[in-house]
């Protein structure tokens, strides 16, 4: 039996256990009795084991699949309501010493423009992001100890938190940088980061090593154990992900759930978020070369099954996905999306000239933040710019406790409505504002505590006086 309590990658991600789980899922994919039992357990909203979830992912029974989708939707509603948290990526540097076969930043790519933002450029980029209405960023960088050492990343974080422009502010900086040491994670924690995000790319060791032939990222164990070190360094919120398209999706789906189980068992708190990136076309990268691409249908099934298996985790879908595909998965479990993203180093303040392509991948959803916000509201979602949990110290297990308490309606929902109203007041187009004001009025009914409701009404009525920071 594999050992979830061990901090060793090859034990908590046991290859044999994954293979056995996949064989079990294959054997039982039409086993109505077992699938019913798993669904009954899932309805308790306490999650599923990786093996049970693998059976649901493989399930071929049409009526049971409909039940899976309906349950995912219900769990999403129960835990996260109709709120969708908004964020944008900010690419700091595409210098990289790794040889990742799927990423245009790989060291052998000589025709991509290499760039690294100066602190002055960061001020410009972040001011542009604030002018769109963003409050939450995910910092991205290649791995390069000379060009992007931890000191550079820390300096960027300090600059970003220090930028106050009109009513804008970046209030939560999440960080997606290469696996590093406990000491460096502690520095990131002290710099006030929100979530530390690191995608595993694939949990299959042999494929992982082939896909990362050179550079520090080649070390499977060091990469896979990064979240343990991040948590040892004091980071409470970690974000997992695999890059779908690189390897067999059933293997990586099972692997990521085992990783979540390991963190829960070994560190007492599971992943704060799980991202579901899919491989995209990019400079020097043709996704068709990798023959593990997944259809939109399988992608939706993965989202639904993760939602059921890890009910408390936030789930992120980026602009790698088109508007249509995002529409298909939002209700199945997604709680955070990016909007108006640029995957180039620079490009928010001024568009990047074509001859200077520094982008990481082609974006499928090119809409403005205003368009994305309006689109969400037209589908009755509440776009949220809230960052209160992190600033109130509700991270790690404290956030999970709030989620499980059912008091989210009197905490997250009011915060979402107040931050949405701030967005509408400060940044939205007239058309978006009209739709938003109607939605906020309707959504006030969700708040159950009369005192909270009164406070929110008071805040909303006085928002034009400039107050921007009251939160529950």
| Secondary structure string (H, E, C) spanning 156-224 | HHHHHHHCCECCECCCEEEEECCCCCHHHHHHHHHCCCCCEECCCECCCHHHHHHHCCCCHHHCHHHHH
Query: Is residue 285 near ligand SAM by the rule CB under 6 A?
Result: yes
Beta-carbon contacts of 374 under 8 Å, excluding residues fewer than 6 positions away, are 429, 431, 432, 435
Whichever of 226 and 412 has its CB closer to ligand SAM, that residue is 226
| Nearest partner of 414 among 371, 467, 450, judged by Cα | 450
306: left (phi over 0), alpha (psi -120 to 50) or beta: alpha
Which one of 71-79, 197-205, 297-305, 307-315 is the stretch in contact with ligand SAM (CB under 6 A)? 197-205
Contact pick of 92, 103, 153, 456 for ligand SAM (by CB under 6 A): 103
**Per-residue tokens: 63:** 């009526």
Task: Rule CB under 6 A: choose which of 35, 86, 139, 243 binds ligand SAM.
Answer: 243
Binding of residue 277 to ligand SAM (CB under 6 A): yes
Q: How far is the CB of 246 from ligand SAM (least distance, A)?
A: 8
Structure tokens at 266: 């070994």
Among positions 134, 136, 229, 320, the unique one binding ligand SAM when judged by CB under 6 A? 320
Determine the interface stretch with ligand SAM among 19-27, 195-203, 347-355, 460-468 (rule: CB under 6 A).
195-203
Residue 266 touches ligand SAM, criterion: CB under 6 A: no
Interface segment toward ligand SAM; rule CB under 6 A; list 18-26, 119-127, 279-287, 417-425: 279-287
The contacts of residue 179 (CB under 8 Å, 6+ apart) are 198, 216, 217, 222, 223, 226, 229
- To ligand SAM, the closest distance from the beta carbon of 343 in angstroms equals 8
**Which residues ranging from 158 to 187 are in contact with ligand SAM (CB under 6 A)?**
176-178
For the bound state, the minimum distance from the C-beta of residue 216 to ligand SAM, rounded and expressed in Å, comes to 9
Q: Which stretch binds ligand SAM (CB under 6 A): 138-146, 403-411, 425-433, 445-453?
A: 138-146
Residue 69 in contact with ligand SAM, rule: CB under 6 A: no
Token duo for residue 258: 């085992």
3-42: contacts with ligand SAM (CB under 6 A): none
CB 254 within 8 A of CB 54: yes
280-283 CB contacts, 8 Å cutoff, 24+ apart: 280/320, 280/361, 280/362, 280/364, 281/361, 281/362, 282/103, 282/104, 282/359, 282/360, 282/361, 282/362, 283/104, 283/109, 283/111, 283/112, 283/357, 283/359
What is the closest distance, in whole angstroms, from the C-beta atom of residue 149 to ligand SAM in the complex?
A: 14
* 143 belongs to the binding site for ligand SAM (CB under 6 A): yes
To ligand SAM, the closest distance from the beta carbon of 417 in angstroms equals 32
217, 250, 307, 421: residue in contact with ligand SAM (rule CB under 6 A): 217
Residue given tokens 């403005």 in the structure block: 368
Taking CB under 6 A as the rule, does residue 87 contact ligand SAM?
no
Cβ-contact 265, 6 below 8 angstroms: no
- The distance of Cα 444 from the centroid of its chain, to the nearest Å, equals 27
- Position 360 contacts ligand SAM (CB under 6 A): yes
- Per rule CB under 6 A, is residue 201 in the interface with ligand SAM? yes
Q: Give the binding range for ligand SAM (CB under 6 A) out of 31-39, 64-72, 272-280, 382-390.
A: 272-280
C-beta separation of 197 from 273 below 8 A: yes
Question: Who contacts 44 (Cβ-Cβ below 8 Å, separation ≥6)?
Answer: none
Part of the chain binding ligand SAM (CB under 6 A), chosen from 46-54, 140-148, 154-162, 231-239: 140-148
User: Which stretch in 80-88, 129-137, 273-281, 363-371 sits in contact with ligand SAM by CB under 6 A?
Assistant: 273-281
Residue 101, Cβ neighbours under 10 Å: how many?
Answer: 16
Nearest CB to ligand SAM, comparing residues 37 and 286: 286
Q: Is 239 in the site for ligand SAM (CB under 6 A)?
A: no
- 181: exposed, middle or buried (Cβ count in 10 Å: 0-12, 13-18, 19+): middle
The distance between the two most distant Cα atoms of the chain, rounded to a whole number of Å, is: 63
Q: Choose between 7 and 216: whose C-beta lies nearer to ligand SAM.
A: 216
C-alpha 310/C-alpha 42 separation (Å) is: 10
Contact residues toward ligand SAM (CB under 6 A) are 102-103, 140, 142-143, 176-178, 198-199, 201, 217, 243, 277, 279-280, 282, 285, 320, 360-361
């Amino acid at each position: 039996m594999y050992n979830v309590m061990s901090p060793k990658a090859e034990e908590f991600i046991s290859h044999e256990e994954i293979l056995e789980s996949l064989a079990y899922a294959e054997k039982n994919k039409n086993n109505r009795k077992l699938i019913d039992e798993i669904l009954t357990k899932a309805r308790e909203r306490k999650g599923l084991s990786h093996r049970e979830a693998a059976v649901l992912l493989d399930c071929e029974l049409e009526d049971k699949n409909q039940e899976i989708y309906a349950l995912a939707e219900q769990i999403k509603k129960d835990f996260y309501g109709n709120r969708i948290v908004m964020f944008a990526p900010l690419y700091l540097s595409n210098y990289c010493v790794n040889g990742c076969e799927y990423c245009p930043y790989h060291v052998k790519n000589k025709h991509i423009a290499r760039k690294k933002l100066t602190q002055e450029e960061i001020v410009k980029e972040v001011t542009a992001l604030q002018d769109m209405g963003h409050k939450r960023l995910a910092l991205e960088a290649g791995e390069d100890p000379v060009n992007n050492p931890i000191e550079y990343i820390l300096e960027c974080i300090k600059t970003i938190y220090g930028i106050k422009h009109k009513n804008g502010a970046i209030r939560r900086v999440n960080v997606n940088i290469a696996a590093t040491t406990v000491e460096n994670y502690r520095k990131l924690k002290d710099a006030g980061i929100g979530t530390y995000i690191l995608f595993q790319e694939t949990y299959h060791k042999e494929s992982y090593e082939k896909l990362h032939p050179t550079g520090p990222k080649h070390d499977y164990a060091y990469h896979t154990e990064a979240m343990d070190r991040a948590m040892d360094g004091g980071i409470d919120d970690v974000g997992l992900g695999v890059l779908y398209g690189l390897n067999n999706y059933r293997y990586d789906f099972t692997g990521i759930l085992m990783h979540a189980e390991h963190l829960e068992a070994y560190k007492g708190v599971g992943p704060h978020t799980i991202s579901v990136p899919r491989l995209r076309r990019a400079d020097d990268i043709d996704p068709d070369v990798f023959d593990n691409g997944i259809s939109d249908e399988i992608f939706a099934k993965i989202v639904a099954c993760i939602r059921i298996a890890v009910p408390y985790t936030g789930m992120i879908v980026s602009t790698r996905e088109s508007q249509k595909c995002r529409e298909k998965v939002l209700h199945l479990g997604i709680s955070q999306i990016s909007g108006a993203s640029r995957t180039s180093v620079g490009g928010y303040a001024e568009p990047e000239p074509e001859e200077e392509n520094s982008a990481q991948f082609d974006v499928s959803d090119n809409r403005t933040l205003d368009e994305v916000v309006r689109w969400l509201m037209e589908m009755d979602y509440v776009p949220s710019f809230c960052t209160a949990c992190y600033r109130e110290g509700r991270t790690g297990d404290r956030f999970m406790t709030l989620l499980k308490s059912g008091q989210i309606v009197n905490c997250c929902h009011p915060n979402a409505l107040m931050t949405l109203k701030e967005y509408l007041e400060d940044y939205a187009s007239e058309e978006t504002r009209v739709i938003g004001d109607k939605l906020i009025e309707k959504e006030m009914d969700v708040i159950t505590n009369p005192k909270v409701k009164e406070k929110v009404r008071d805040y909303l009525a006085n928002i034009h006086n400039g107050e921007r920071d009251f939160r529950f």
